[in-house]
Structure 1
């Protein structure tokens, strides 16, 4: 059992936190009005990408040595037409650069809250969470902490893969916002 601190208690934060709780972990939620002195071993950034900067500034010392799960998709929400990070980078890479003493993991950004809550994509197939990080032990700790929650976890490789994961997340959000897929649908992996 580990303590998991989830920044954000919206649909995604609540669904992710519940999955960690379902696997037997202690989960706490942190909102912008919270005052927290000690963060869990795993910290989830379940907020829109523009809100990440303030969290990193406010909690920089508390985040040192922690596993940081970045779920963000750095979508330009004004146009829904582009990502707001450089083409050769990712939100996760930008966060890792700002937190050199933390272990950054990209995860949950290619899933919707509804699929995390039901653990099914389109009410048919097991929800798969793709994770990427340069730290193999961090990926293992996240996978172990989710063991038994009902989600399928696949190691997608190094943090460099966050760029492709964010492009997938962006495409999925674009399709759902255009009502071409539902918010209970999404990408599934079958093997």
Structure 2
């Protein structure tokens, strides 16, 4: 099992933390509001604890579960406390009406976030193609990942598998550009008849 710290107290953070605790991982939740972080940890039960915002996260894997607009700024506040950590970026970069992405051509939110962490940290994109409420419902879903460090991706894949999910490697961190473009696709499908109780997956033919 893995040791996980989750920065953020929103719906996606709660969904990941819930499945992580239920599957036997050690989980720390971190938020600016210490009282809310403590309340979430108590609600999660099991191994869950609340960490201090800006302090060194207890987990070897740190899930950044805050909106893209604030992700780089939040991670920068942790500074060298993230050295040698694996940082999972789950953010989506779509614009206000979800018709496109905010990042310019030739980069991704994950690549920009990677600039905000110490050189020894490894950013892996994951979970951004799964709606939080769908993740919370349970079931085996596909989770696409991208990253430049093979060992970091292997460890993230192990964590994802522990949640009862299937990790699918999309390539290096630059592939996050295409994973983030899935955000507007999912919103478009949801708004045009599919509804929001959907997930994106891959069928591997024999």
TM-score tier (shorter): 0.7 to 0.9
Task: Deviation per CA, 1:59-96: give whole Å up to 9, x if none.
Answer: 1111111100001111222x333211111110011011
The partner residue of 2:62 within 27, 35, 43 is 43
Residue ranges of structure 1 left out of the alignment (5+ in a row)? 121-125
8 Å contact 2:94–2:183 — kept in the other structure? no
For residues 68-107 of structure 1, the aligned pairs below 5 Å read 68-77=87-96, 79-99=97-117, 100-107=119-126
The partner residue of 1:137 within 148, 151, 163 is 151
The partner residue of 2:197 within 160, 166, 184 is 184
Residue ranges of structure 2 left out of the alignment (5+ in a row)? 35-51
Task: Deviation per CA, 1:165-186: give whole Å up to 9, x if none.
Answer: 000123213433x353322213
Q: What do you get for the CA RMSD once the two structures are aligned?
A: 1.7
Q: TM (normalized to structure 2)?
A: 0.82
8 Å contact 2:84–2:121 — kept in the other structure? yes
8 Å contact 1:23–1:145 — kept in the other structure? no
Task: Deviation per CA, 1:28-59: give whole Å up to 9, x if none.
Answer: 21112243422111111111111213212211
Secondary structure (helix, strand or coil) at the match of 1:72 reads coil
Aligned to 2:24: 24
Larger relative contact order (Cα-Cα within 8 Å, sequence gap ≥ 6): 1
8 Å contact 1:23–1:146 — kept in the other structure? no
Secondary structure (helix, strand or coil) at the match of 2:29 reads strand
Q: TM (normalized to structure 1)?
A: 0.88
Aligned to 1:157: 171
Q: Is 1:127 equivalent to 2:141 in the alignment?
A: yes
Query: Within 2, Cα distance between the matches of 1:155 and 1:53?
Result: 24
